[in-house]
Structure 1
Amino acid sequence: MADQRRSTVLERTPTPADIKRWRQYLADERAEAAVYRDLAKRRDGEEQQILLALAEAEGRHEQHWLNLLGEHADTAAHPSFRNRLVGLLARRFGSVFVLALAQRAESRSPYATDADATDAMAADEAIHEEVVRGLATRGRNRLSGSFRAAVFGANDGLVSNLSLVMGMAATGVDSKVVLFSGVAGLLAGALSMGAGEFVSVRSQRELLDASMPTQVTLTAAPRLDLEHNELILVYLARGMSREAAEHRAAERMGQFTCDCDPSLSLQPEEFQEANGHETLGTAWGAAAASFCFFASGAIIPIIPFIFGMTGLGALVLAAALVGLALLGTGAVVGLLSGASPLWRGLRQLAIGFGAATATYVLGLAFGSVVG
């Protein structure tokens, strides 16, 4: 079926529209292959081989369009803006964001509905989307949690302080009061976020420390009553089967020194140190980072007031600045999740402005009651 479809295309005389479309496909295939090769340069092992295989597949697609274009292949079109952007990012960064963009590009392949593309090419593009999704998922899993904290912390600062500023302004108070309220909201929110992050990480470390078994079994075992061996209870509580617990207790109490059953290997207990990200130093680092992330978002709504603007103009500019920032954070979240950056940005914008509008209405109501 695919061969018949291809021969039919080759037999017909291409129209100018066909040539234009094929040249665009050719340019995009070359750009996509270059993206995968650039990404492969920054990887090694299995991931590098996967990316090179994707580039090779795009090369087969490129050859298909070259065959169709024939003498018309001399004048190449420019890749689409999306592919040029992805290529630039791949050369400069090679990050998970590039894979997320490549995933979306593969999902939008027109080959499934284009009669000039073979069935195999359409199937390739569908598979490529899943391959890139898998690679992007690996990258998302490796992505630092602090980066996600930066995005969401900044978003919290944007929404909460914009809401505070608009709510205070709606009551009719002086612009200086609005500014001081915004600064207070920034400091209070950032300190709260920092303290909460410190307590969270520190508490996790303390819980891990409390759960880590001690070496008491090595020191207390020789003095235990052989007939009432509570040492078995220790190992049962740790999740061992009774047979394994009895075997371990017998060795600890010196009843024998050899392991007759390898499956009940009774090597001395060795416990790993707590993970590096759970140390006290990291708790302080997490607190500082959380403070800065929140403050970086919370300062934006008060920028107009810092520079002396007042009234409706200051509120409009604050809302505009926050709106741009919300679109940016939403787009980043969309890329990380493999979803549409535009729609995620618009959703973030709607949520943020919804909260600010509700607070503004409440401020109006409170101002009218007090007034």
Structure 2
Amino acid sequence: MKSETEPSEKKDKNLNPSLSLFSLPDDIVLNCIARISTSYYPKLSLVSKTFASLISSYELYKTRCLQNTYEEILHVCLQFPMDRRPSWFSLWLKPNQTLTNDLERKEKSSRNALLVQIRSSYCPHRPKFMFMVGSEWYAINQYGYPASDLSVYKSGIWDWREAPNMTVARGEDVIAGVLNDKIYVMGGCSKDESKNWAEVFDTNTQTWESLPDPGVQLRCSPLRKIEVWGKKIYVISSKRIEYDVYDTKEGRWEVEVQSPMFEFSCVIENVRYYYGNKGFLWYDEKLKDWRTINGLSVLVRHCRGGSGKIEMADYSGKLLMIWDKYKQYKHHPEKKIWCALIAFEKRNNDDEVWGKVEWANIVLTVPNSCVLLSSEIRAV
């Protein structure tokens, strides 16, 4: 009996090597890839053209959202001195590692977190903007080329429907923000488009309305982001020395003196946090005043000694911060780019805010002349 079963077992073993992930339908492969951390995607995309195509597809993004396995990834835009165009990097966190606070380490960085350049062969496909209004998600610019589509799906079920289109197609340089159930969209179209350069979508009436023309100066300026403060929409530009502000109550544009408040600040769970000459501050809505955040003195000292350029983002309810720091001795050709994650805690009946650096690492070494342009958090 034993001799009769052996050939069958050997035959089965010989068949196994022929079975591979490539022989499965794409939807099953997508389901498998969606369960893997995005930290592995850059290397996985090198395995084959099929993997590279699936990893960069919009279908993978939808599958990850459906399975609730999507991750928030920091993307950073850097301008190198010899390059004509800026370069995009994503924050790579070493899988299965405990990240450390290297702010006071004298030895080399642990290198558990790095900025990795996004290659053209690996470009994850996801909407540039996704806003949750009520129980629905709205997605803008999800194709990578100028489009007027506005997609929406109900939270909890991946059932996309198309909302009314924007009046003009908008590209990657579009900016958007939400205030009082309305989505404000600006730029990303021709600089001569004065009538519909800025428009607003009312999620209650499901209608678009054009905003007044802000003027040729703003339309021709490189846009960075929209900040919402009170009932006003602040448009942040890379070259304007003033803020262009749309007053939603009055329905008109105005100009305000530029303040670093929006440059080095971030809103997390309805609290605005800010870094400036006085260190880290938080805005007390009850007192209508800025107050000091306790527990971050080491981080404050470390942030000084760089170009002064700092980027902040809401990272799952915590503050993700990126900045550059020059070498201690003069004329060194390189500088370090740091990244840190800070958690906040309210104490003493919400009268105090304390911060704790959960981890901080050197994520990239660049030439001194390299410029940190912008950053953003995207769900992938």
- TM-score scaled to structure 2, two decimals? 0.18
Rg (Cα) greater in structure: 1
Higher relative contact order (CA 8 A, sep 6+): 1
- TM-score scaled to structure 1, two decimals? 0.19
